[in-house]
Structure 1
Amino acid sequence: MDYAERNTGGGYAEGVPCWADAMLPDVEGGKRFYGELFGWTFDTGSGPEYGHGTQAYSDGLPVAALAPKADGRMPTVWTVYLASPDAAALAERIKGAGGSMITEVMPVEPFGSMGLAADPEGAVFGLWQAGTHQGFGKQGKPGSYCWTEVYSRDKNLVDPFYEHVFGYGGVDLDLDGEDFRIWSPAGAEPGPDTAVGGRSLLAGLTPAPVSDRYVPARMPAHFLVYFNVADADASAAAVTRLGGRVQAPPADTPYGRIAVFTDNQGATFAVLQG
């Protein structure tokens, strides 16, 4: 399920995932972990005005960022950012549809403008309005972002939220008995060929959902970020060697072989081979 950059001006259509970052207690430790796991290289890092983060590269192209947690109480987590030509207007739609803004939209000059939002169940995602930083320079190939999905408990609350706010077209899929919905950007023919993300249901709501493999019943709603890899089994072995955890071992799906990991600092992510 991959949908290329589509809009005028070379950026991303509204609602298309365009960036991902990890908030970590130890950025240098994160560089070692992800550098070995994905083969990423990193820049020298930003100054205090940009939070002392670092940008990751695969084949010399930007693929993600790692940033230090400003407060130890903040979650250690990967966050996906959804593109918008007008993040301030998008923030108002989010609030009007029952979501909330955790961090109001603010400029990150000259790179763009960003904000952090939560859907009606509390799943957090980012907003990005591009300036000089358009987003992923590489995606859908080994070492880069390839997919995201939100894990929710009430599809009757969450599906209308995303479809109203972003204009997504949705298609329901039955994946081994799991209630799963995929979303395509406004104006695209809905379906796997144009899908940019999906919605799964958290444990306890469907018979043996995929989420039961790694999500405790008490886990709040959240997004899961996927990275493409050449070999999911080799990635699982590397995660273990590097001090992380295999939350869901590699398993075949109609869309490729997937696994869910937690890094050595507590950030959960997934990989897709295929």
Structure 2
Amino acid sequence: MDGVEPGTPCWADLATPGLDDARRFYPQLFGWTGVISPEPAANGYTVFRKGGRAVAGAGPPADPDQVPIWSTYVATDDADLAATRVEAAGGQVVVTPFDVADQGRMAVLADPAGAVFCVWQPMAMRGAELFNAPGAMCWNELVTPDPEGATDFYALVFGWQPEESPTGPVPYTGWRCGNRIVAGMMPQLEKLPDDLPAYWSVFFAVEDADATAARAAELGGTILVPPRDNPAGRTAALRDPQGALFSVTALR
């Protein structure tokens, strides 16, 4: 991923009531530097940088009762049109499109199974500046109880086409956008927590998945799925101290 081509995941951010904890936890885990927006309307929104380049963000939740969550943002030329397509395809517009100052226009959306994601129509802020490197986003994956319904939904919303992967006993789908596989999908294999009926997971690249998982636990996080090998590398699913789910991958 090298830009914000429409239909491509371009950004990820964390909505959490424990913003101060997040500003401590993630820099210690990934070597990030947090830059807090000075604008009062930003409510302390923090852009995390790795080697000076923006990789992710964090801010307070819009709803105080919202569980902490990492969100995947998909680039679009028209956030309003994307929201209209979501409704037409049977999804939900959680937050109607709105401008984020001069940075971009976004909406918070959900597919029919309840997986929440965002769209980003870039203006001054085009998205992350680093991908597929340690400390940067490297993959986005939908886990859902309804892969067939998701296939129809995301084809209508983003024009994504499914590409089945025969890499193992578990069915795995790659989402193709043009000439590129931009994200993935897998069915639910294990009982998930009640707050995750279906979800988009954000993956960050690391040098060593085992060491990162152990470090996350030392910092107050939880190892949800211990490190294990897959065709892409070695991956672990983690929760931060506030409970937000994310994954790390040591890429092959």
Tell me whether the two structures share a fold, i.e. TM-score over 0.5: yes
**2:91, 2:112 within 8 Å by CA — same for their partners in 1?**
yes
Secondary structure (helix, strand or coil) at the match of 2:181 reads coil
Tell me what 1:139 maps to.
131
C-alpha distance in 1 between matches for 2:23 and 2:193: 28
One-letter code aligned to 2:215: A
Alignment of 1:92-131 (within 5 A): 92-131=84-123
Which ranges in structure 2 are unaligned for 5 or more consecutive residues? none
Quick one: which of 207, 210, 225 aligns to 1:233? 210
One-letter code aligned to 1:250: P
Secondary structure (helix, strand or coil) at the match of 1:159 reads helix
1:81/1:218 CA distance change after superposition, 3 Å: closer
C-alpha distance in 2 between matches for 1:238 and 1:109: 36
Alignment of 1:28-107 (within 5 A): 28-107=20-99
**2:46, 2:57 within 8 Å by CA — same for their partners in 1?**
yes
Is 1:160 the equivalent of 2:137? no
Which ranges in structure 1 are unaligned for 5 or more consecutive residues? 6-11, 189-193, 204-211
C-alpha distance in 1 between matches for 2:63 and 2:158: 31
Alignment of 1:141-220 (within 5 A): 141-185=133-177, 187-188=178-179, 194-203=180-189, 212=190, 215-216=192-193, 219-220=196-197
Tell me what 1:245 maps to.
222
The TM-score normalised by the length of structure 2 is: 0.95
Alignment of 1:6-45 (within 5 A): 12-45=4-37
* Deviation per residue, 1:215-241 (Å, 9 max, x gap): 348840111100000111110111010
**2:151, 2:161 within 8 Å by CA — same for their partners in 1?**
no
Secondary structure (helix, strand or coil) at the match of 2:215 reads helix
C-alpha distance in 1 between matches for 2:213 and 2:38: 31
Secondary structure (helix, strand or coil) at the match of 2:171 reads strand
Give the Å deviation of 1:157.
1.0
Is 1:4 the equivalent of 2:21? no
* Deviation per residue, 1:57-99 (Å, 9 max, x gap): 0000001111012433112000010000111111111111111
1:266/1:35 CA distance change after superposition, 3 Å: same
One-letter code aligned to 2:21: G
One-letter code aligned to 1:112: G
Give the Å deviation of 1:123.
0.4
One-letter code aligned to 1:18: C
Name the stretch that deviates more: 253-262 or 162-171.
162-171
Give the Å deviation of 1:48.
3.1
One-letter code aligned to 1:124: V
**1:87, 1:105 within 8 Å by CA — same for their partners in 2?**
yes
**1:202, 1:217 within 8 Å by CA — same for their partners in 2?**
no
The TM-score normalised by the length of structure 1 is: 0.88
C-alpha distance in 2 between matches for 1:14 and 1:246: 34
Tell me what 2:231 maps to.
254
Secondary structure (helix, strand or coil) at the match of 2:157 reads helix
Identity of aligned residues (%): 35
The CA RMSD measured in Å over matched residues stands at 1.5
One-letter code aligned to 2:225: A
Name the stretch that deviates more: 46-55 or 21-30.
46-55
One-letter code aligned to 1:184: R
One-letter code aligned to 1:4: D
1:179/1:20 CA distance change after superposition, 3 Å: same
